[in-house]
Amino acid sequence: MLTHRLKGRFFNGKIMKLPKLYAFNKKLEIDLSLSENPLGCSPKVFRVLKKDIKKIVEYPDPTSSILISTLKKRFRVSKNQILLGTGSESLIDLVCRVLLRSKDEVVLPELTFPLFERAILLARGKPIFVKVKMNFQIDLEGIKARIGKQTRFVILCNPNNPTGKAIDRRRILNFIKEVNPLPVLVDEANIEFGGKSVVSAIKNQNNLLVLRTLSKAFGLAGLRVGVLLGSKPLIEKFKQFIQPFPLNSFAQSAVITALDDEKFIQKTRVLMEKERNFLIDELRKREFMVFNSEANNILVEVNRLFPSATKFVRLLNKNNVSVVNGKSFRGLGDRFIRISPRLRKTNLAFLRVIDKILASVE
């Protein structure tokens, strides 16, 4: 059953079916939709941005040299193993455009971040979807089995979006070795919240690409900064295709400051775990089926009183609450929503709305 929402686009005169992205949905007053940091960002970032205001009249450093030095130390790689982009979404797009020719295949989990599918299709590639297991874990064996002659790379998302489930680090590393030399892109957008990074394996594994973002735990979604790490030959290849000024001056200095504030990230982790557990418990009390998550997204199957997630989301929207409808994710059907925990005040407001809706349907 294809419940995934598709939208027509013109492409070379033909209509191309692309996934409709939830990023364009409306945010309402009680917003649990996009996974931004509920604490904002490190307060030190605002001070640096104010100080740097004069920089807007000049072109930024095209090589982001100071930021690259910071990242080099942080990830223990050389500078030609790092590529910066305008949000990690631009780097997903870049990897697809550079590695794919018409009808080349990319193997990836069916239930994951929808932008992967979009980028593959826009690069005229063919996504090969592998169903997740019953418990929503990514099926690495299943993915391996689908690798064929036309496969150009594999995408894994750890922890996965929308489930918040992490893949065991050892299992990812074994997988990367087993499929070598096929490139494996591991999107670690939410790794600060849960799971263990494979970034240290870059020095031994030429086929590993790791993607990071400053939009989630670091709270800088508006600055649009993504980081791609990998072997020198792969990164050099991608570098040829980027624009001369991928990061603006503000983004460069803000990221250096944000990366340095480990206390803020620690505070974010503690808050996320507390609010995630709070919401999971409270929703279970209200007979919603909630799947355990290690990260900043929670997948929820709606209470049986509601005929569909769409109906439930409509009721939430009417009460000024926005969440992501599970229909935005391939293969999920119309019974799930994705929520991203917020500060306690917003989470309580969300639960109060649910109680009001439940009282009206019971």
Give me the residue whose beta carbon is nearest to ligand PLP.
87
With respect to ligand PLP, which residue has the nearer C-beta, 163 or 231? 163
CB of 221 to ligand PLP, least distance (A): 5
CB of 309 to ligand PLP, least distance (A): 19
The whole-angstrom separation of Cα 279 and Cα 76 is: 37
With respect to ligand PLP, which residue has the nearer C-beta, 140 or 189? 189
With respect to ligand PLP, which residue has the nearer C-beta, 88 or 328? 88
The whole-angstrom separation of Cα 85 and Cα 210 is: 13
CB of 215 to ligand PLP, least distance (A): 3
Neighbours of 187 (CB within 10 A): 27
CB of 227 to ligand PLP, least distance (A): 9
With respect to ligand PLP, which residue has the nearer C-beta, 95 or 279? 95
CB of 272 to ligand PLP, least distance (A): 14
Chain centre to alpha carbon of residue 309: 22
Read off the amino acid at residue 187: D
- For the chain, counts of helices (H) and of strands (E): 11, 15
The whole-angstrom separation of Cα 263 and Cα 132 is: 35
The Cα-based distances of 312 to 315, 328, 333 in angstroms read 5, 15, 14
Residue whose tokens read 């686009």:
9
CB of 174 to ligand PLP, least distance (A): 22
With respect to ligand PLP, which residue has the nearer C-beta, 113 or 329? 113
CB of 223 to ligand PLP, least distance (A): 9
Q: Which of 91, 79, 69 is nearest to 212 (CA)?
A: 91
With respect to ligand PLP, which residue has the nearer C-beta, 316 or 324? 324
With respect to ligand PLP, which residue has the nearer C-beta, 151 or 213? 213
Question: Interface residues with ligand PLP (CB under 6 A)?
Answer: 35, 87-89, 113, 157, 161, 187, 189, 213, 215, 221, 226
The whole-angstrom separation of Cα 85 and Cα 123 is: 18
Task: Tokens for 211, please give them.
Answer: 């993607």
The whole-angstrom separation of Cα 285 and Cα 258 is: 38
